Amino acid sequence: MASINVNNLPAKAAAAITALDNVMLFTASGDTTQTPFSEAVSAAQVLNDCECLKSFKVTLTSAEILALGSTPINLIAAPDAGYCIDIVSVAARLNYGTVDYVGGGNLILYAVGSNPLATITNIVQGSASVISKGTTIDGSDIGNLVDSQPIKVLMLVSPTTGDSTITIFGLYREMKL
């Protein structure tokens, strides 16, 4: 097996690292060890299967907001089968345009096949830019996890006029079931 010298890494990477090459791994305790590249890849795949926090940020156009009562918008793509999305926190920012929204309601986050997960109240009822934090429907943890379903947002009633955008952002993790 060949070892890769860090100084030669750019040249070696350009020539392609092979399964026969050794790479340096750093352990949680700070120790280092030389490991075949193929084993390092396997270890990385296990580590990448973690339930690490991820973030999302989606800006809804005025046209999307005006249709949100009948046309839900995907916020987070569906995970692979055997995984679900666990919303940790969510908030939204009304990016005020020039015309107030008339009507409309709360933003409701949900996964297909579940009850609402969270709501962001009164975000469209404003005449200035504002940020509002989401809350759960029943006051408990943001609930109802559903296997391999995307997270969507809707309103029960669409506003009739208005021209602002809304940016929805938050933290989530994909959990293995």
pLDDT (0 to 100) of residue 150: 93
**pTM value?**
0.69
pLDDT in tens, the chain (177 residues): 455 444 454 455 545 666 677 777 666 677 777 777 767 666 665 555 666 889 999 999 999 999 999 999 999 999 999 988 888 889 999 999 999 999 988 999 988 866 788 889 888 887 888 888 887 655 555 556 788 899 999 999 999 999 999 999 999 888 888
CA separation, residue 145 to residues 41, 57, 112, 120, 176 (Å)? 30, 20, 10, 19, 11
Residues 141, 126: Cα–Cα separation, whole Å: 28
pLDDT (0 to 100) of residue 173: 87
Tell me where in the chain the CATH 2.60.120 domain(s) lie: 54-176
Look up residue 112 and give its DSSP letter. Answer: T
Residue written as token pair 């120790």: 31
Residues 152, 168: Cα–Cα separation, whole Å: 11
- CATH 2.60.120 is right for the domain spanning 54-176: yes
Q: What does the pLDDT look like over 103-146, one tens digit per residue?
A: 988 999 988 866 788 889 888 887 888 888 887 655 555 556 78
Instruction: Output the six-digit token pair for 103.
Output: 């009507």
Look up residue 8 and give its DSSP letter. Answer: G
CA 168 to the chain's CA centroid: 11
Residue written as token pair 């916020």: 75
Q: Is residue 117 within 8 Å of residue 87, measured between CB atoms?
A: yes
Beta-carbon contacts of 119 under 8 Å, excluding residues fewer than 6 positions away, are 106, 107, 108, 109, 134, 135, 136, 137
Instruction: Output the six-digit token pair for 153.
Output: 């947002």
